[in-house]
Chains A and B, each alone.
Chain A
């Protein structure tokens, strides 16, 4: 074991892993985290805590991750390259480990132009692949990026994201390979709706031996409505929503669309369980945490292994 992460233990035990996601509040309420955590408890192995997602200011992912630990859940601490330089990042990683955080997800981050401070200054001192390498260096070599020694290095289980749907399509699997070469232990993909494209991508990854080197968790986000599906298709960068999803949601009564969205999601999960190279699922129920118990139940993902 590279870390003391529960997620790592689940994955190394060859159990089909489940991760969830929790967006910190736009305010100071620890209660919001408790409430959302309550829905996820015993339903997932670890919970991603987003880092100012879509470049909108929220409670820090570090603080929210620490609060999640208090609730008895394991965080997957997200860190983006947009807002911090290498000094701040390494410092936060030390602090995160001291607070009991054992998983880190290394991301580029959405451009600040999308957020509530569009004219803020971007940092991007290092990029997401370099961040992966930095965390690995801190863990495995016990040194900072500068080469200076760390007293009690942080033993993080290192995650990265992959988007099988972004341009250029042919490069996507190579980008995955770079992330794994840099030191990613696990990968969580962008929300998958285009199953054909995903099957093609995971096959490429599998053929290249990448799925032996890192655990790949397939990302899903249940659609709440046909409106949400249209929004995701047209407004969210890097999202590939086929027309068939929209048609299927349109085909049911408005009141039934949420259940239909969940049904689609569960069918996907059933397929992922059988798909070579897929080690688990990442359920991103955006501001819909309360439906995670239902999704995990229906998809046959419960009970989760007891964290030791």
Chain B
């Protein structure tokens, strides 16, 4: 899932200076799971902003509302009645949600309250780790289920570089070298041949905005025949 982290309160406060009414919008999707922007975090932020804004000039009217997912129009529509009552919006969704919200209400300034960090896993309670950079051309089948694009600090495809020592990446003793891990796993599976051949230069798939239209829906959006 997408993982995000709530911004510092001061930054959020500074972003909305000058607006008298603010609606804080939460998202019940990924950011809710990683405790950054779900209903509970919205309630929390509403309270904190109200308290900290008492002594300050603005904003006076702070509301909160959480929808199931901000990356879907069907759920965003639940905000249609509420949004006109406010001057500006704070979104606690990931970057995609923030933008879709802003697109739906183009006359309202929208401010993000979280930093979208990565696609990752729940390592343990309250501990998230990146696993995927959405490169658009998955190589995990070759590399033993360990992503060199994400897990190698240099994103090397023919790794390891000259840096790893005692199994750690040259960047930090606390980060395992992705290629040592790949090597160990493939060796254990008897698949070392996978990394003895040269991995050719990649045609990066994520250098322009991504867009997926399922084959079954092509005719619906482009007029193209199936």
Contact = CB atoms under 8 A, between A and B. Distances in A.
A237 B172 CA distance: 10
Contact of A127 (B153, B159, B204): B159
A111 interface: yes
A127 B157 contact: yes
Interface in B131-166: 153-166
B158 A113 contact: no
Contact of B165 (A110, A114, A124, A237): A237
Contact of A124 (B155, B164, B180): B155
Given A129-B198, A167-B167, A238 B158 contact: no
7 contacts: A113-B171, A114-B170, A122-B155, A127-B158, A134-B201, A175-B160, A237-B170
B163 A127 contact: no
A240 to B, nearest CB: 8
Interface in B177-215: 177, 179-180, 183-184, 196-202, 204
B198 A166 contact: no
A80 B183 CA distance: 24
Given A113-B171, A126-B202, A129-B199, 9 more contacts: A108-B162, A111-B170, A124-B155, A125-B204, A129-B158, A134-B201, A166-B165, A168-B160, A238-B163
Interface in A169-222: 171, 174-175, 177-178, 181-182, 190
A86 interface: yes
Contacts, number: 97
- Say what secondary structure dominates the interface of chain B: loop
Nearest to A167: B164
Interface in A90-142: 108-111, 113-114, 122, 124-130, 133-134
Contacts of B196: 174, 177-178
The residue in B156, B162, B166, B184 that gathers the most chain A C-beta atoms within 10 A of its C-beta is B162
A108 B201 contact: no
Contacts of B163: 110-111, 166, 237-238
Nearest to A130: B201
B6 to A, nearest CB: 21
Nearest to B197: A178
Contact of B154 (A127, A175, A181): A127
B198 A108 contact: no
Contact of B171 (A111, A182, A238): A111
A163 B156 contact: no
A110 B158 contact: no
Contacts of B153: 111, 113, 122
Contact of B158 (A130, A161, A190): A130
Given A110-B170, A122-B154, A171-B183, A238 B201 contact: no
Contacts of B171: 111, 113
Contacts of B157: 127, 130
A81 interface: yes
B174 to A, nearest CB: 13
Contact of B198 (A113, A114, A181, A238): A181
Interface string A130-165: 100110000000000100000000000000011100
Contacts of A161: 162
Contacts of A126: 201-202
A134 B201 CA distance: 9
Contacts of B202: 126
A243 to B, nearest CB: 16
Contacts of B199: 129-130
A282 interface: no
Contacts of B204: 125
Contacts of A174: 196
A43 interface: no
Contacts of A125: 204
A182 B201 contact: no
